[in-house]
Amino acid sequence: MNIACRFPGGKSKALTLSYDDGRIEDRKMVEIINRYGIKATFHINSGLLDKEGFIRSDEVKDLFDGHEISLHTLNHPFLTNIPTEQIIREVQDDRRNLEALAGYPIKGMSYPFGVYNDKIVDIFKTLGIVYSRTVHSTGTFDLPGDFLRLNPTIHHKQDLLKKTDDFLAINNDRVLHLFYVWGHSFEFEYDNNWDLLEDFCKKVGGKEQVWFATNIEIYRYLKALESLDFSEDTSLVYNPSCLDISLCVGDKIVEVGPGQLVNIF
């Protein structure tokens, strides 16, 4: 019997957005994507909150409710050009501040200015960061190989609507596809093209075949998939995670609940 991994609900496609800097234009972005049920991760510099042009610390929790609040360092430095001690402080202070506002553990990140090196990746690992997004667009819908060098599919300026059509046209559920879009909400304001975001949401929003998720939800789901324990003949599967897992067994979808042992055929 052929067994293939699926996203929740038996879906084979996932969409996530990743937007940086915590500027006031995030308010309009959230208002638009919420109307279409699209999920995003917002990377915030907590040292810049309450400054002119940036969102207020007292609105962070409610504004991003249903989305993910994630790290982007305290003050947005070039991490490759500061002492190790300062790198650690930039991450840890941001994390402590944002966790106090969000009320949940924050494990994700995006690199300020997109810059990083192997030393920074090692430091992040030590600090318990589980993913960090780069600015290297792959143009593909492949799953991330290295979550601490998490490459997006595209920036939204890179022909977003055409890429969305390509994503929706994929007709191969034997592999999982991730459409990962990044950017800054203030770019829609500067470029006077909020309609691009609206058109994108209209195209993809509500599509049955797509799982809409934040960055950390995708990370956690893929880790939960990896954690499944199969018997030698693959007829039995145990799910040690706390997530509902979907598998395609033969031609039917099988759900394996948290902590469940299931005979799948």
Chain residues binding Zn ion by CB under 5 A are: 20-21, 112
To the nearest whole angstrom, how small is the minimum distance from the Cβ of residue 43 to Zn ion? 7
Is the CB of residue 264 less than 8 Å from the CB of residue 237? yes
Would you say 17 or 222 has its CB closer to Zn ion? 17
Question: Around Cβ 227, how many Cβ atoms within 10 Å?
Answer: 13
Residue at shortest CB range from Zn ion: 20
To the nearest whole angstrom, how small is the minimum distance from the Cβ of residue 83 to Zn ion? 21
Would you say 93 or 244 has its CB closer to Zn ion? 93
Would you say 21 or 217 has its CB closer to Zn ion? 21
CA atoms within a 13 Å half-sphere pointing along the CA-CB vector of 167:
31
Would you say 16 or 246 has its CB closer to Zn ion? 16
To the nearest whole angstrom, how small is the minimum distance from the Cβ of residue 152 to Zn ion? 14
Interatomic CA distance for residues 10 and 23, integer angstroms: 36
Interatomic CA distance for residues 233 and 216, integer angstroms: 32
To the nearest whole angstrom, how small is the minimum distance from the Cβ of residue 76 to Zn ion? 6
Is the CB of residue 49 less than 8 Å from the CB of residue 24? no
Give helix 84-102 / helix 118-126 axis angle, nearest 10°. Answer: 50
Beta strands in 21-113 (DSSP E): 40-44, 68-71, 108-110
Would you say 75 or 209 has its CB closer to Zn ion? 75
Give helix 26-35 / helix 194-204 axis angle, nearest 10°. Answer: 20
To the nearest whole angstrom, how small is the minimum distance from the Cβ of residue 215 to Zn ion? 15
Which amino acid does the sequence have at 40?
A
